[in-house]
Structure 1
């Protein structure tokens, strides 16, 4: 029997990679999207692809009733902190109300369905040097509406598990990048460098923000493999960090990229990219998750960045 799996957020960066993995393993996949941030024209899933605004309770209920999933990978979200400042209403409605609609639908239909809640390191907020790598028992004090919405999403999953027995797992995802990613440091840098290489950007300047911030970075292909492992081996009702094991200053990412391109470039710090509340370091302990699932990070940042450069070369 093939697993019947619903992936929300197929139009996002992780969703496309996850659907590919699940279908390669023989799963019957329903993939839903809304306002995609990833170009879906080159994707070719074998299962159903349906547009669904998770804020639409009737639509969510109808899909659950028709498809009867055994697993739900809940990735759909308004996932940009900067956008959450500009539009906190849409962020909360999408991330919180959308999550309620899924869990309520599963409850009302009495489905035997396990849910992976894709949560975020943004739930922790400001973390000091002596508190990293941050562990799951650290206080949750988010710094923006997006982080607040993810705390609410995680707590909803816990509440529905405790009160109604709906099995769910929360994975607090730390910085993740890879081919197809948009609007993060690695994506912006690799895209700009390919634009320079192709003569699209003649200034040969790399626009940067704060070069001193530090991030543990994981390749998306390692992350989606972790999702699959979590669904099969992690403990329901629990929350897990999923973080890279090595921390990089942004300037170190620039240095790696210098060795991956065949030309020199200037670095220009743009004041508009300096955030008023930018976490100085984002780095989590994945020991709990590793111990229960056997997962480990396999793809080094150098390979990730090279693959991202190749990706931009292919579409620009």
Structure 2
């Protein structure tokens, strides 16, 4: 019997996770019965007509809403735009789906950042922890979560929320710490900069997860997540950034000085972060599969290719 293929539409396909979906669709997405539908023309979350046009073409069975303003320093610089894109843009998308007759599953990708500063004695962070956002980006995500919950009570289709914690992998922008260090190591290896790595605060911990594990979690939620529910997407482990950098130096056999750059320090930075993934594991049987060393090797190899291409002669 031929397996029914369902149509999956992802907003933000040109972003970090969206591009990772594109790389994986040959095996990870299609292998789970999904056909990734690509937008046939540009659209804007703040232009409802463009969303309606795209959705009429895509006719999705499920939507993963990744698009938005995701960079925290930019959110501090322009909080109004961040709220417009992340809250009003989500409302526009929900209304466009309703207008198109959508009757599938909508997964809103929020952020573990909505929890704000959590005391160490309360780690790991569960979904029962209240949202106490510390920056405009997290405020916009928490607000959109509430919007999605309200809609989940009033429409006949499933709406659920994922709260991913820090995720890393090939293709990430250099604004993020592990990606930034990998780029600098690639430049050192190619003789393009001195053996000195500029960093922000490295004596903080984060819950890092490979982007491919993040994608598999989202697909698991499409299949088994419950309407109106929120799920952490995280490793459940705590990684000190200083230790991550030391691992990257070891893997590249590089001897470099670590230097703090004041421009890379972020306001309201959290000291320790570790999430609980028990709820999603119980609901879907999902669990992280990719070892951190493999993730770091993938990031380092990706930046070596990118830096080499950036500096290739014309």
TM-score by length of 1: 0.91
Describe the SS at the equivalent of 2:110. Answer: strand
Distance 1:298 1:133 in 2: 20
Describe the SS at the equivalent of 2:270. Answer: coil
Deviation (angstroms), 1:62: 1.6
CA shift digits 1:252-290 (9 cap, x unpaired): 112111211123100101122222310111211010001
Q: 2:182 aligns with which of 175, 190, 193?
A: 190
Query: 2:165 matched to 1:174?
Result: yes
Deviation (angstroms), 1:125: 0.7
Q: 1:235 aligns with which of 226, 229, 233?
A: 226
Distance 2:183 2:159 in 1: 37
What is the aligned partner in structure 2 of residue 35 from structure 1? Answer: none
Describe the SS at the equivalent of 2:106. Answer: strand
Stretch deviating more after TM superposition (163-172 or 215-224): 163-172
What is the aligned partner in structure 2 of residue 211 from structure 1? Answer: 202
Cα RMSD (Å): 1.4
Distance 1:66 1:302 in 2: 41
Deviation (angstroms), 1:17: 1.5
Distance 1:281 1:209 in 2: 15
Which structure 1 residue ranges, 4+ long, deviate > 3 Å from structure 2? 19-24
Q: 1:309 aligns with which of 284, 287, 300?
A: 300
Deviation (angstroms), 1:23: 4.7
Q: Give the conservation status (yes or no) of the 8 Å contact 1:116–1:231.
A: yes
What is the aligned partner in structure 1 of residue 286 from structure 2? Answer: 295
Deviation (angstroms), 1:66: 2.8
What is the aligned partner in structure 1 of residue 7 from structure 2? Answer: 4
Describe the SS at the equivalent of 2:107. Answer: strand
Distance 1:17 1:251 in 2: 26
- Equivalent runs, 1:1-316 vs 2, <5 Å: 1-24=4-27, 25=30, 27-32=34-39, 48=40, 50-182=41-173, 183-201=175-193, 203-316=194-307
**Unaligned runs of at least 5 residues, structure 2:** 308-314
Distance 2:78 2:63 in 1: 27
Distance 2:182 2:119 in 1: 29
Describe the SS at the equivalent of 1:284. Answer: coil
Shift of the 117–23 alpha-carbon distance from structure 1 to 2, 3 Å rule, reads farther
Distance 2:209 2:185 in 1: 21
How many residue pairs get aligned? The number is: 299
TM-score by length of 2: 0.91
Distance 1:174 1:18 in 2: 18
Q: Give the conservation status (yes or no) of the 8 Å contact 2:207–2:236.
A: yes
Deviation (angstroms), 1:192: 0.4
